Structure 1
């Protein structure tokens, strides 16, 4: 089922085993350290694939786990790594965004734009009030991401009422990641594109990063309350989704 099509790209929700296999193939290319490309959460998620209409190539994929409210957050993938007890008090509909990846040969800004346009349509149509997930940094050496972690700590840590607590056995406090003066330019350059987009929408992160040896990444819990997205950003997203 097509969600959104613009230019040479189409975003659609997968319905067949063959299309889901294309999602897994793209995941294995982007996350080569992950020995288990599919997991138990996949059966509880909806899967979106973006393809190049000119070539038929799969260029982006992600999965969505809808939750009726915060009371169901313990079933999310993120809850494996973060203590999310405070978010159980969230009353509105939530969606966990996961396994977001873009083909390394198709890092076209239009792909990311279409992905967020498709997400915006889903959020609006289904009246979702919070989008959350784990934003990943490639590699497990905290020093590599020190500027980005310090930047997140200074400007984007979650409000106390939603702040995730440490649960994973290997976690790095964002506040302790950097031992030199912060370079904002270097920090933004090192930020994953997905996370940068979250932040422009008023998104926030956990105060620590988790080392994920299975995926060969470090990640931060990331959330955005839909009602808190700045009006100008909402207009831009809906223009893409229109």
Structure 2
């Protein structure tokens, strides 16, 4: 059972329908910009384990995400990401996998410790379950590709998936940044525009698809992101496990 306390925050699994509803309401606020929008909920919520990061003193939900465990690549077609990416290359991945999705932080909270605590919880879960790959969709806010050209150029030059795992195009609307971009990226601008979750994946050795899906329903651009646990540098693993202790 996931339970972790660090400083001002504690992490736990959702246990009740009310917990899951609270996560959906935070997602609605974070992704749609207002709590009055149509609630962010889908059929995958019933299949997933939901992780809540709460401020200990007030009980405020400040971050949430969900896990979908799958036995290996042969089951990857049942994932959320498979709706948007053709993932047949990953069907040969033999080890246990977890799709991490709907990650969001309350827009009123800017504390970097929230992300650290969230990654500590992910690390504890990965170690406990023997997970060999963490994957999901990493989102940029909005659908204007021109705002993120340096970030996409960095992804093209440094972080594309190995050919054997590379997702193929499936969604009707995509930005093929690996084909289209010829610019030399400004690394500083790129990092400023890179979503914090994706930035953390990349620091650990994560990789991405060669195209971004234009998701107008969620008002995001997202890239498929994979992280092979055995490929994480040893020093980074030690830091992650210290955060999970």
* 2:117 is the alignment partner of 1:117: no
Counterpart contact for 1:146–1:177, Cα < 8 Å: no
* 2:156 is the alignment partner of 1:153: yes
Q: Distance in 1 between matches of 2:197 and 2:31?
A: 15
Which position in structure 2 is the counterpart of 1:100? 103
Aligned ranges 1:66-215 → 2 under 5 Å: 66-176=69-179, 178=181, 180-215=183-218
Counterpart contact for 1:2–1:10, Cα < 8 Å: no
Q: Residues 162-192 of structure 1, C-alpha deviation per residue, up to 9 Å, x if partnerless?
A: 0000000111112255465421100011000
Give the superposed CA RMSD. Answer: 1.3
Which position in structure 1 is the counterpart of 2:22? 22
Q: Distance in 1 between matches of 2:181 and 2:193?
A: 14
Which position in structure 1 is the counterpart of 2:243? 240
Which position in structure 2 is the counterpart of 1:4? 4
Structure 1 residue runs of 5 or longer lacking an equivalent are none
Counterpart contact for 2:205–2:231, Cα < 8 Å: yes
1:35: how far off? 4.1
1:225: how far off? 0.2
TM-score (norm 1): 0.97
Query: How many equivalent residue pairs?
Result: 242
Q: Residues 176-211 of structure 1, C-alpha deviation per residue, up to 9 Å, x if partnerless?
A: 554654211000110000000000110000000000
Q: Distance in 1 between matches of 2:161 and 2:59?
A: 40
Counterpart contact for 2:25–2:39, Cα < 8 Å: no
Q: Residues 202-225 of structure 1, C-alpha deviation per residue, up to 9 Å, x if partnerless?
A: 000000000001100000000000
